[in-house]
Amino acid sequence: MLIKSTRRPSVPELRIPAEQPAPAPESASDNDDDLNIGLLAGTAGDRIGHFVRGVTQESLQHLRYISAANAFQNVGSALGSLALTPLAIRLASDNAPLIGGLAIGGTVAAGAVGAVLGYAWLYRKDGKDEHKVKEFSKAADTALSVGAALQSLPKFVYPSVVGATDAQIETIYNALDKLPLHQATASSTMQVIPGLVKTGISGMAQPGDSHIHVLLDESYINNPNRAEGLVLHEQAHAVDYSGGFGLLGAHNWKGGFGTGPFVSGYAETNRYEDFAESFEAYHTDPEAFRLAFPEKAAAIEKISHADPLSAAADQAGVRSAGRRIGATLGKVPLLRTGLEIAGSLVGPIQTHRGASKLIEGLESGDQAQQLDGKLNLATGLFLGLPGARPLALATGIAGSALRLTSRENNEAHMEQANKWANRVLAVSAGPVGMTVGAIVGEMEANGLKMDESKGFSPDGWQSSRPGKGAMLKGTLATVGGTIGGALLGAAVGGALSGTPGAFLGALWGQAAGGVTGLAGYSIHRTLKEAKKEGDPLALTSSDKQFLKKTVGGAVVGAGVGTVAGAMGGRLLGQMVGQAFGGPGAASVMGSVGGWVGALSLAYGGGKLGAGIGSGRILGKEPLQSPENPGLQAS
């Protein structure tokens, strides 16, 4: 993904059906061309460059599809929740499993339907107009930037309550005031429902993809002995789900929840209810809870520390503004819901637009468009990463500065700006981006020039566009990977630590399997494309050897570096934070240190691994060299 293309007159509509190998006169005179130093300077570089370009194009295309599906999923689950919850309440009479299944299961299912629809929509659209990027109007552009900035600011608006009197809202907000601001705002909408308790439940928290919606029984809210407990219990579920990636990142996996001793009979139901009951009890009487359940108390205290921005926002004035805004938005039916859905779309839309613009910029050679694409993409990725949202704001500000200082007609400036954008993009893609950066760096160190001579020209980019069929197969491989990974992860996790291990293993296996499926398919397809009869750019077996060793070395090095860096960085950050600002600062500095350590050692480890893999660092016999010309033959 970290590739630049030099500018040349653009022919955006041109599609080249067959590969047009870059003119490579140097291949014949490799041995005496002093400018071409390095293993990949000759024809091997042409072939590997061609391969890199294909995988990059394919990955960007898949990002477009995944982000479209994600946007539709957010809308789908919100609509599903709106439609199914009233139905569930009407149907369920003293039947808690039925209402839970319909309202929560239905929300998740509607989200999945939305994701499929989003994918199908883009699939159709791409078939029609060859996925040309629509020019967004200035107004839409500005709205998106403002949306991204708002999304990256700390949340301070209290949940909007519908179906409630002012007195009931007051009761609910007062209960939420017992929590730190980032937890008081963990849910976005609440609904007070007369007679909810007849369905068998007094409240429920629905984990939607755009926001969390809480149902509260009216008789409980009117009862001074029960109101606070109910609000704290339901808000606890919202806090639990907000660890990142919804149910995937729930906090209750750590801290001994789901195992005794239990604070109440209801807490024994499952780990989710244990977390909610414990959270409620902790905030009702911290001292007593801490004495009886030290491990669970420590876990609850750990997540009560906010990130630095949210902690700074936790002021009386901000809170009272947040209460007023929350209550006012609740006066207009569905207004808050609509705002939350719109907000949740900013990340996926920025990712989608970023990938589309970057592809178009690469295909037309327009550096300004490439820069826009990279910055949008980074913003979108940061918004999707738990804990990385403030970086989206930083990217937006840095992007405006880059655009201002680099005029489109100044090529040198533009090139420099694109180099900076590459770095931002690598950071926004986390350890994966760092690994890719290390691999690209190693290839450059081996003499591969990512320029027109290796096919990184507008025509070259266009010729590596995957067709619709390839996109669909890639998705199937990704989905297949998630299922396979989930099963494998469940088996391994289950063997290691029983049911909770199986759950966690399945969740992580799913993510790893999806990435493996997608990457595996992209590589498989690019290899197959190149195998087409007589293609001079098909990888030879020695090219594959080189790639395997270099990429394999980078992945292993980056993997080890990520784990070591995260652990070391966290420890170091905690020590520094503890020394200067006590436990709160220790927790914040620990997580900052963990991220910084993981990213920097992922890059360092990846670079070292790639260098060892390619043989460059240990000074081993190079896989290909002027003295070893046999490897250059196709």
Q: CB of residue 231 vs Zn ion: minimum separation in angstroms? A: 12
Nearer to Zn ion, 236 or 438 (CB): 236
Helix, strand and coil in the chain, % to nearest 5: 70, 5, 25
Question: Which region among 55-63, 272-280, 426-434, 477-485 touches Zn ion (by CB under 5 A)?
Answer: 272-280
Sorted by sequence, the CB contacts under 8 Å of residue 119 that are 6+ apart come out as 65, 68, 69, 72, 475
Q: CB of residue 103 vs Zn ion: minimum separation in angstroms? A: 13
Q: CB of residue 107 vs Zn ion: minimum separation in angstroms? A: 16
Question: Which region among 49-57, 268-276, 329-337, 418-426 touches Zn ion (by CB under 5 A)?
Answer: 268-276
> Per CB under 5 A, which of residues 462..491 are in contact with Zn ion?
none
Nearer to Zn ion, 75 or 281 (CB): 281
Q: Which residue from 18, 72, 21, 61 is spatially nearest to 469, judged by alpha carbons? A: 61
Nearer to Zn ion, 212 or 276 (CB): 276
Q: CB of residue 291 vs Zn ion: minimum separation in angstroms? A: 24
Q: CB of residue 205 vs Zn ion: minimum separation in angstroms? A: 7
Nearer to Zn ion, 96 or 291 (CB): 96
Question: Which region among 18-26, 188-196, 267-275, 585-593 touches Zn ion (by CB under 5 A)?
Answer: 267-275
333 burial level (CB within 10 Å; 0-12, 13-18, 19+) = exposed
Sheet with 212-217: list strands edge to edge. 160-162, 189-193, 212-217, 203-207
104: its two tokens: 């929560």
CA–CA dist 505, 490 (Å, integer)? 5
Sorted by sequence, the CB contacts under 8 Å of residue 626 that are 6+ apart come out as 30, 31
How many residues in the shown chain lie near Zn ion by CB under 5 A?
2
Nearer to Zn ion, 276 or 612 (CB): 276
Nearer to Zn ion, 29 or 259 (CB): 259
Q: CB of residue 273 vs Zn ion: minimum separation in angstroms? A: 5
Q: Which residue from 246, 211, 248, 245 is spatially nearest to 74, judged by alpha carbons? A: 211
Question: Which region among 122-130, 266-274, 499-507, 553-561 touches Zn ion (by CB under 5 A)?
Answer: 266-274
Question: Which region among 28-36, 130-138, 273-281, 536-544 touches Zn ion (by CB under 5 A)?
Answer: 273-281
CA–CA dist 572, 594 (Å, integer)? 9
Q: CB of residue 276 vs Zn ion: minimum separation in angstroms? A: 4
Nearer to Zn ion, 238 or 440 (CB): 238
The β-bridge partners of 214 are: 190, 205
Nearer to Zn ion, 247 or 472 (CB): 247
Pairing type for strands 203-207 and 160-162 reads: unpaired
Sorted by sequence, the CB contacts under 8 Å of residue 621 that are 6+ apart come out as 615, 628
Amino acid at position 126, single letter:
D
64 burial level (CB within 10 Å; 0-12, 13-18, 19+) = buried
Nearer to Zn ion, 148 or 215 (CB): 215
Residue 276 near Zn ion by CB under 5 A: yes
Beta-carbon neighbour count of residue 194 at 10 Å? 11
CA–CA dist 111, 81 (Å, integer)? 9
Q: CB of residue 327 vs Zn ion: minimum separation in angstroms? A: 25
The residue number whose beta carbon is nearest to Zn ion equals: 276
CA–CA dist 362, 375 (Å, integer)? 14
Q: How is residue 92 annotated by DSSP?
A: -
Nearer to Zn ion, 251 or 353 (CB): 251
Nearer to Zn ion, 263 or 276 (CB): 276
Q: CB of residue 104 vs Zn ion: minimum separation in angstroms? A: 11
435-458 as b/e, with b when 16 or more CB fall inside 10 Å? bbbbbbbbbebbbbbbebbbbbbb
Angle at 624 between CA 623 and CA 629, to 5 degrees: 140
Q: CB of residue 243 vs Zn ion: minimum separation in angstroms? A: 16
> Per CB under 5 A, which of residues 280..309 are in contact with Zn ion?
none
Q: CB of residue 236 vs Zn ion: minimum separation in angstroms? A: 8
- Contacts with Zn ion by CB under 5 A lie at 273, 276
